[in-house]
Structure 1
Amino acid sequence: MRRALPWVGATLVALLLAAAVLAPWIAPHDPALTDLASRLQGPSARHWLGTDHLGRDLLSRLLHGARASLGAVALILALVLAIGCAVGSIAGMAGGIVDAVLMRICDAFMTVPTLVLALFMIGALGTGLGNVVIAIALSHWAWYARLVRGLTLSLRSRDHIAAARLAGLSRLAIIRRHILPAVAGQLAVLASLDLGHWMLHLAGLSFLGLGVAPPAPEWGIMINDARPFFRTAPMLVLLPGAAILLTVLAFNLLGDALRDRLDPALREHAH
């Protein structure tokens, strides 16, 4: 079972990514096309998973919802890694007052719960998917900066870093050539474990009406739209909820597998 679970996670992630990329071609209908004459229908040959309260095809909306949700999570990942790596590597290499100031800023971000901080950011930036992505990224970058800074401090006294300095490489070149490749494994583990967390944040904020605006398909807003019909058509809530559940599960399984493979302490304990 321990060996099979990583493959299950990798397979689920691959299927989700394929659905997101191929959604415009494999979705049987336009996800925003309304047909009130076909509203709240059950599964049929025309609509494999049925229709919602506006007659829109559920399968098509789920597929395009994967595109919106996974695309937003990918943008969050890119922003978090960019900010965290930049702040952490600069603090670790510079030391002194620069390190102290940057770490106090990190501490300020880390003291506030991430969801509360994201809500505050959205209040300042405004609603919309782009602002939600920025808000989630700004509420999570500090942990990555701390990790990169700690690893940079442990690496900067190594012989090959000293040799690079003697060779005349700038701090930026040392960070790019020697520091970031060395910390990539730890960042991959942390990011893979956080992807599901970000997915839940994104779906929750969209559920509250702060993210994707209707009629765009997104799993969180699909659940919000279906709330009045939960008793009469529970699949309208259960299907996007199951999509979120499977996505979070897939990312967590993949993250656990990466942690087991890339963390030397865990490998030694397993043996």
Structure 2
Amino acid sequence: MRRWLPRLALLLLALLLGLAALAPWIAPFDPAETNLAQRLMPPSTMHWLGTDHLGRDLLSRLLWGARASLGAVGAILLLVLAIGTVLGCLAGLLGGVVDTVLMRLADAFMTVPTLVLALFFVGALGTGMVNVIVAIALSHWAFYARLVRGLTLSLRARDHVAAARVAGASRLDIARRHVVPAVAGQVAVLASLDLGHWILHVAGLSFLGLGVAAPGAEWGVMISDARPFFRTAPMLVLLPGAAILLTVMAFNLLGDALRDRLDPALAEHGH
């Protein structure tokens, strides 16, 4: 199972990413197009998964929802890696006051649950998917900055880094040539384990009406819209819920496999 489960997860994620990327071309209908005469229709040759309470095609909304959810997670990943790596390198290489200030700030961020912190930032920035992406990134950067800073401190004592410093290399050159390549594996492991977590954050905030605005298609929004119809049309909730579940499971399986491959010592201890 340890061998084929990650491959199955990778295949599923590749399929989801492909469907999300091709959504504008393969979705049979406009995801926002309403037709009250065809509301709550069962699956048919015209609407393969049926329609929702406004007559919108469910398959089209699921495909565009994948595009919104996975696109948001990709943007969060880039932001978190950029902020965490830059600030972690600065703290580790500069030390002194810079290190103290940045790490105390990171400690303050890490004392608050990430979802609560994300809700605070959305409240400060306003609603909308862009602000949700920024809020989730700001609530997670501290973990990455701490990891990168610790690895940078250990690298500073290595002979090749000391030799580069004596040879006149700038801190930027040291970070680019020696620190970032060395910490990339550890950061990739942490990020791969967080991707499923971020999918849930995006869906949760959209469920609360803070992310994608109606009539936009996103899995959390679809579940929120379908709540009044759960008894009469449960598939309206179950389909986007299953999409979230499968995506989170695939990300987690892939993250575990990546951790075992890049950090076998950590895997042996069961962390």
**TM-score when normalising by structure 1:** 0.97
Gaps of 5+ in 2: none
Alignment correspondent of 1:147: 147
Q: Tell me whether 1:42 sits opposite 2:42 in the alignment.
A: yes
SS at match of 1:60: helix
The CA distance in 2 between the partners of 1:267 and 1:209, in whole Å, is 38
Do the aligned residues in 1 keep the contact of 2:72 with 2:133 (CA within 8 Å)? yes
The alpha carbon displacement at 1:164 in A equals: 1.4
Do the aligned residues in 1 keep the contact of 2:151 with 2:183 (CA within 8 Å)? yes
Alignment correspondent of 2:174: 174
Aligned residues: 270
Do the aligned residues in 1 keep the contact of 2:34 with 2:54 (CA within 8 Å)? yes
Alignment correspondent of 1:257: 257
Do the aligned residues in 2 keep the contact of 1:106 with 1:142 (CA within 8 Å)? yes
Do the aligned residues in 2 keep the contact of 1:69 with 1:202 (CA within 8 Å)? yes
The alpha carbon displacement at 1:166 in A equals: 2.2
The alpha carbon displacement at 1:167 in A equals: 2.4
The alpha carbon displacement at 1:158 in A equals: 0.7
Alignment correspondent of 1:244: 244
Paired AA for residue 239 in structure 2:
L
Alignment of 1:171-250 (within 5 A): 171-250=171-250
Sequence identity percentage:
78
Q: How big is the alpha-carbon RMSD for the aligned residues of Structure 1 and Structure 2? A: 1.2
The alpha carbon displacement at 1:269 in A equals: 7.0
**TM-score when normalising by structure 2:** 0.97
Paired AA for residue 80 in structure 1:
V
The CA distance in 2 between the partners of 1:140 and 1:268, in whole Å, is 26
Paired AA for residue 250 in structure 1:
A
The CA distance in 1 between the partners of 2:267 and 2:102, in whole Å, is 33
Q: Tell me whether 1:57 sits opposite 2:57 in the alignment.
A: yes
Do the aligned residues in 1 keep the contact of 2:259 with 2:267 (CA within 8 Å)? no
Do the aligned residues in 2 keep the contact of 1:8 with 1:253 (CA within 8 Å)? no
The CA distance in 1 between the partners of 2:194 and 2:238, in whole Å, is 24
Flag the 1:120–1:267 CA change in 2: closer, same or farther, 3 A: closer
The alpha carbon displacement at 1:266 in A equals: 4.4
Gaps of 5+ in 1: none
Alignment correspondent of 1:31: 31
Alignment correspondent of 2:74: 74
The CA distance in 2 between the partners of 1:200 and 1:39, in whole Å, is 28
The alpha carbon displacement at 1:183 in A equals: 0.6
Paired AA for residue 226 in structure 1:
A
The CA distance in 2 between the partners of 1:269 and 1:215, in whole Å, is 47
Over residues 58-105 of structure 1, what are the superposed CA-to-partner deviations in whole Å (9 max), with x where a residue is unaligned? 001000100000000111111101110011010001111211111000
The CA distance in 2 between the partners of 1:269 and 1:102, in whole Å, is 30
Q: Tell me whether 1:126 sits opposite 2:99 in the alignment.
A: no
Q: Tell me whether 1:3 sits opposite 2:34 in the alignment.
A: no
Do the aligned residues in 2 keep the contact of 1:28 with 1:60 (CA within 8 Å)? yes
Paired AA for residue 208 in structure 1:
L
The CA distance in 2 between the partners of 1:178 and 1:66, in whole Å, is 37
Paired AA for residue 248 in structure 1:
V
**4+ residue stretches of structure 1 with deviation over 6 A?**
267-270
Paired AA for residue 252 in structure 2:
N
Alignment of 1:78-117 (within 5 A): 78-117=78-117
